[in-house]
Every structure is written in C-alpha cells, then in structure tokens.
Amino acid sequence: MTHTRLTFLGPLRLLSLAVALAFSVAHADEYSDVSQLVRTGKLTDALTKADQYLTSKPRDPQMRFLKGVIQRDSGKTTDAIATFTRLTEDFPELPEPYNNLAVLYAGQSQFDKARTALEMAIRTNPSYATAHENLGDVYAKLASQAYNKALQLDASNAGVPPKLALIRELFSPSAAKSQRPNTIPVPAPTAPVATPVATKPAPTLPGPAVAKAPPAASTTVVAAATGSPTPATPASVPAVAVAPSAPAAVVATPPVAATKNSPKDAEAAVIAWAKAWAARDVKSYLAAYGKEFTPPGTLSRSAWEEERRQRITSKSKISVKLENLTVTASGNSAVAKFRQDYKANGLAVSSRKTLDLVKSGDRWQIVKESTGT
C-alpha cells in the first residue's frame, strides 16, 4: 500500500474506520468482512463488497468511510477525495473525514486545502489531537515553502537558512520514524460485545487494543431509557453505557468504601458527566467542568458553553458509552481514561478520551479534556 509522505515531513496520520467510527451490531459482519479483506491486501474484493453493501444503504457513514480508506490504499486518490468530501457534506459533525481528506490533499502538495480541512476537523472537535498534530505538520511544510521562497528572492538573508535547517532536521525521515509508524493498518475485526440497555443492545467498538479483564471492584453501570432498574452484570470489558433519556435509573453493585479522595469518587463524577450529556441535561453537563477548565482552541469559556449548549439541545437523542474506564487519583487530582462511543441522530463516533479532574470542595470537576490520547 502507498502511504502519504511530505517532503521533510513524516506522514500525516490517516484514521482507519475502526478508530474513527463505531460499528453497529446489526451490520458488524459486513464491516468485519470488508476490514478483513483490506488487512489481507484484497483491496479489489474489499471495494466490490463495500459497493454491494452501499447499493442498499447508500448513506451508511461507516461503510462509506471504509470505502474511502480502501480507495486511498488502492492508489485511487481522486476517488478517495470525492468519497471523503461527500462524507463531510452529509455528516459535517464527523471530524475524521476532514482529517483523511487533509492527508490526501497533503499527498498532492495541496497544503492550503489540507490546512482548511484540518481546521474544519478541529472546529468540529476542538479536542481532536490527531488533527492538531497533522495541522502542525502542514504548517511546518508551508513554512518550509515560505523560507525557500525567501531565499530565492534574497539569497543573502542569513537568518533564513538556520530556520529551514531546523524544520528539515525536526521532520527528517529518521526522526519521524522514531515518533510514529509510517502505516496505519486496519485493525483485525473482533466480535462486538453488546451491553444491555433497555431492550436494545448497545454495541461496543472492535478496536486495536486488547481487551482487559475488569478489576475485582469493577462494575457495569447502565442508565436505562425506560427508568426501570437494570441489574449490574459483570462484563468481559469494563464499560459504562448511558442511553438517551430523561429520568434514568442507575443500578450498580455497592462500591468499595471510598476514602476522601478515592478514585471511586472521581469515577462517579465521570459517569454523572456522561449521564447528563446523554440526557441532554445541559446545566448538569456544564457544571461538570470546573472554573479552571480552558476550552480547546481559541474559544472563550462563554462561547464554548454556548456552542456545547446548541450542539446538545439540537439532538433529538444522544447515547454515550464509556468503555475501559480507568481512574487514577493522587491527592486532589485525578485522571480518567476511556474509549467513548457517542451516537446522536444516526451519527456514531468512537474515540479515546482523557479527562483531568480536580477536587473542589466535595466535588470532582473536569479541568482538561483531550481526545485521541
């Protein structure tokens, strides 16, 4: 397979389907079959199967995303650009198609277009770490071109060569190789694990990470749409599923006795944050963020809150599922890491997320939020 490279720069990071979008249980076999064909290098067969699936479900974002990855790996750059472009038009809230579109533009040395696509990805998700990293690489390439142009216009300018040399050294192939892989493989498909939410199973995302067995005190917490108690059951993958609803019942096994600054308290705060988000309870959702929280990007706190309020209230239903939730606490600080599966109005996005929390009085509040870490 051919992977995008930049002169002086390492390859921008392209996302595969399993990293970017959540599989649905109903169609997991089709996604897995296509992914397996990609992994074994049977790209023609993979593309044929993807097209057959899209004949009956032409708007399916997951399969369309995978089709774009197949086209890109097959060297059909123009087709891949068209596929990802249509995805950004039909699902503008998904940041991953913008990212992959930028990678393709960068491979054609269209760095202005790559920059615009990455800025759209970050505007859609200000915590999108991969897009920020790729944007930095694009800026470095644009700077390299500008410095070269400056030398062409004034070869006697002694200040430019050191800057140009610094960029070349920073993004030399050997440096890029040590920092990140040159290829992004499609992860091996695994059977999805469903967590019961009311009467409809909530899918878990087959990802590249090996599932870990839950610790002794781990429980599965479910917020049910009907408000009926749902007993906590052990799962092979620790998960917190939050379904869309207004009043919701949370039933869990009794927690281990918590100390004043126990990770259990911080974990409960994270679960409450996810539950408020799924219930579209904007007041409780925003209250989960401490006054020290600084929104990503250039948005002010008030502008960020208004943007979040509009995004949440504009959805008819929201589902948030936290998998592999781990919380470590030290004094009044805690760090929560998990995989987040988010669904709203037919969109499905999965990403790794980290929340930094600080205890203020008797409450744990979020002071930093990052995605892709």
pLDDT digits 0-9 by tens, 223-243? 333 333 333 333 333 444 444
3-state SS string over the chain? CCCCCECCECCCCCCCHHHHCCCCHHHHHHHHHHHHHHHCCCHHHHHHHHHHHHHHCCCCHHHHHHHHHHHHHCCCHHHHHHHHHHHHHHCCCCHHHHHHHHHHHHHCCCHHHHHHHHHHHHHHCCCEHHHHHHHHHHHHHHHHHHHHHHHHHCCCCCCHHHHHHHHHHHCCHHHHHHHCCCCCCCCCCCCCCCEEECCEEECCCCCCCCCCCCCCCCCCEEEECCCCCCCCCCCCCCEEEECCCCCCEEECCCCCCCCCCCHHHHHHHHHHHHHHHHCCCHHHHHHCECCCCCCCCCCCHHHHHHHHHHHHHCCCCEEEEEEEEEEEEECCEEEEEEEEEEEECCEEEEEEEEEEEEEECCEEEEEEEEECC
Domain 17-179 part of CATH 1.25.40.10: yes
- Name beta bridge partners: 289: 366
At residue 296, the pLDDT reads 73
C-alpha span between 81 and 72 (Å, rounded): 8
- pLDDT recorded at residue 327: 94
pLDDT tens readout for residues 2-21: 333 332 334 566 665 444 44
- This prediction's pTM: 0.47
Q: In one letter, which amino acid is 16?
A: S
Report how far apart, in Å, the C-alpha atoms of 229 and of each of 226, 308, 321 are.
9, 30, 18
CATH of 195-371, one of 1.10.600.10, 3.10.450.50, 3.40.630.10, 3.30.230.10: 3.10.450.50
So where are the chain's domains? 17-179, 195-371
pLDDT less than 70: residues of the chain:
1-28, 167, 169-261, 346, 372-373
Quick one: pLDDT at residue 70?
A: 93
* Site of tokens 């479910």: 222
Task: Please compute Rg for the chain using Cα positions.
Answer: 22
